[in-house]
Amino acid sequence: MENIRVTFLGTGNAIPTELRNHTGILVTYKDENILFDCGEGIQRQFRLAKISPSKLTRIFITHWHRDHVLGLPGLFQTLAMSNYTKRLKIYGPVGTREFISLITKLLMSIKIDLEIEEVHPGRKIEEKDFIIEAESMSHGTPTLAYSFTIKDKLRLDKKKIKKLKLPNSPLLAKLQSGEDIIFNKKKVKAKDVTYKEEGKKLAIILDTSMNANIEKIAKNSDLLITESTFLDKEAEKAKEYKHLTAKQAAEIAKKAKAKKLILTHISQRYEHNLPEVEREARKVFKNTLVVKDLDSVEI
């Protein structure tokens, strides 16, 4: 099974710093390059990461606060000037169609083929190899969190295939699809020569306060990415501004039985005290990492 690669193009909060750009998370799987949120200056972050923005296939917007979307006009401009030829699919909460329309009007003339879908909570976008799901979050404006899940695959047991002397033919494809076959006048059951390779799950939860849907989207994720705008000592402020603390992010990971937690959306107030952010989360969930711009991980 191919890995999912996650590149953090931006890991900052509302105010960018010399070390952190506004939010942008690029998920790469096979031919898909999916950008989750598009902070200001994202096209430059692509360049720094040595990734061509022209490889983009989809953009998912969590919500329309400025620090998560102001990179869209510049990105559209860069794609147009790079002769981008794909149909760029853009997904986001209610209001996305209107906001994209305003951006394209601002750019006056833009030769990019855009397909817009306003995503409602519970929506599943299903492709051959993966599923992307959305759940509603709590941030004072229509906000979504997303999961990206590679489907389970049925694999052939090569030793058993060899033992039965099955030829390399369409018969193998039938077995791999779960269909029994007849070979040498004998029935070969798919369940006897195959095994299930479990898929992988990535969950992305950005700006939100605690809510009932968080565990649903995060459940059993191999990698959980959450915002971590505040420390627990400022929990009241986090609640007021509808954000998460590092401790809350760790509690989510633990309850959801995630395998690894990555903290992002780091406030400038903690830029020179990142070990404290990490320590707070690790007290609850050991396998935690605070990322910086241009870090990448694979699952």
Q: What is the pLDDT of residue 128?
A: 93
> What percentage of the chain exceeds 90 in pLDDT?
82
Q: What is the pLDDT of residue 288?
A: 98
Whole-Å CA distances, 269 to 17, 72, 228, 230: 10, 26, 12, 9
Q: What are the residues whose beta carbons fall under 8 Å from the beta carbon of 161, sequence distance 6 or more?
A: 172, 193
Provide the residue count of the chain: 299
pLDDT in tens, 151-194: 998 887 788 788 777 888 887 888 788 888 888 888 877 787 77
Residue range 230-242: average pLDDT? Answer: 97
- 91 versus 162: the higher-pLDDT residue is 91
Q: What is the pLDDT of residue 35?
A: 98
Question: Left, alpha or beta for 242 (phi > 0: left; psi -120 to 50: alpha)?
Answer: left
Contact 93, 143 (CB under 8 A): yes
3 state DSSP class of 248 = helix
- Beta partners for residue 126, in sequence order: 131
pLDDT of residue 277 exceeding 90: yes
Q: In angstroms, rounded to a whole number, what is the distance separating the alpha carbons of residues 24 and 4? A: 16
On whether the pTM is more than 0.85, the answer is yes
- 187 versus 217: the higher-pLDDT residue is 217
Q: What is the pLDDT of residue 287?
A: 98
Q: What is the pLDDT of residue 123?
A: 95
Q: Which of 31, 37, 67, 180 is catalytic?
A: 67
Whole-Å CA distances, 27 to 33, 92, 138: 6, 16, 24
Q: What is the pLDDT of residue 161?
A: 83
Q: How far is CA 12 from the centre of its chain?
A: 17
Mean pLDDT estimate for the chain: 94
Q: What is the pLDDT of residue 23?
A: 98
Question: How far apart are the two ends of the chain, measured CA to CA in Å?
Answer: 10
Told to judge if 37 belongs to the known catalytic residues of this protein, a careful annotator would answer no
> What percentage of the chain exceeds 70 in pLDDT?
100
pLDDT of residue 122 exceeding 80: yes
Token pair 């909460």 in the structure block, residue:
93
pLDDT band per the 50, 70, 90 thresholds, residue 197: confident
For residue 244, give both structure tokens: 């998460």
Contact 156, 194 (CB under 8 A): yes
Residue range 38-47: average pLDDT? Answer: 97
Going by their DSSP bridges, the two strands 87-92 and 58-60 should be labelled as parallel
Q: In angstroms, rounded to a whole number, what is the distance separating the alpha carbons of residues 277 and 249? A: 11
